[in-house]
Amino acid sequence: MKKLLALLLVAILALSLSLFAFADTITSLDVPATETGNVNVTVTDTRSPEEIPVTYNVVVEWEDLNFTYTITGDWDPEAHKYEGDWNKTFANITVTNHSNADVKVDAELSGDVTKNSVTASLSNDSFTLDSAVGTTYGDAPNQNITVNIDGNPDTTNTTFELATVTVTISKVD
């Protein structure tokens, strides 16, 4: 009887020395040998959507908003203007959303807007940026707001402030 029990225990021990695979079951393995398997990861968040805090990270980046008009010609008595050229007629403001929620972006000008026959205006001044979830930092959702300048100044040798750009960020319901 004791011999029978001993034989039974040896058999159980021999069977327990089998190898375990995470995915495929290995039925035989030569030594030496190599075996690979997939590593699967499951991420779960047990909180409800309302419990997940939203931390916003929005970047506002703007180009040089100084515009220079150089007078190159004579006074035009009919137009009441000096002939000349702008160094540039627009500049961009880039808004990037690194948040885990969508954001609504609106831009507006405040101040004189039109002064000394020069007018500032905005293009693409309202848009929505998607959440950055699923993107890399460098590919985060972004769009440009363009500040445009138009007109020939009717004054000389002066520097004046035309407007301030306010970028308003709102959450998206």
Binding mask 3-42 for another protein (x = CB under 8 A): ----------------------------------------
Query: Which of the stretches 24-32, 35-43, 44-52, 57-65 binds another protein when contact is defined by CB under 8 A?
Result: 57-65
Closer residue to another protein, CB minimum distance, 129 or 163: 163
Contact between 167 and another protein by CB under 8 A: the answer reads yes
Assigned token pair, 4: 């029978």
How many CB atoms are closer than 10 A to CB 99? Answer: 21
Rounded to a whole number of angstroms, the minimum distance from the CB of residue 48 to another protein is: 18
CB 56 within 8 A of CB 108: no
Among 50, 51, 64, 74, binds another protein (CB under 8 A): 64
Contact 170, 114 (CB under 8 A): no
Query: Rg for the chain (alpha carbons), in Å?
Result: 35
Q: Could you say which of 35, 61, 83, 85 contacts another protein (CB under 8 A)? A: 61
* Cβ atoms within 10 Å, residue 87: 11
Distance in Å, CB of 52 to another protein, minimum: 12
State the nearest-atom distance from the C-beta of 86 to another protein, in Å. 14
- Asked if 68 and 86 count as a contact pair (C-beta separation under 8 A), the reply is yes
Q: What are phi and psi of 15, to 5 degrees?
A: -70, -35
Q: Which residues bind another protein (CB under 8 A)?
A: 53-66, 93, 98, 161, 163-171
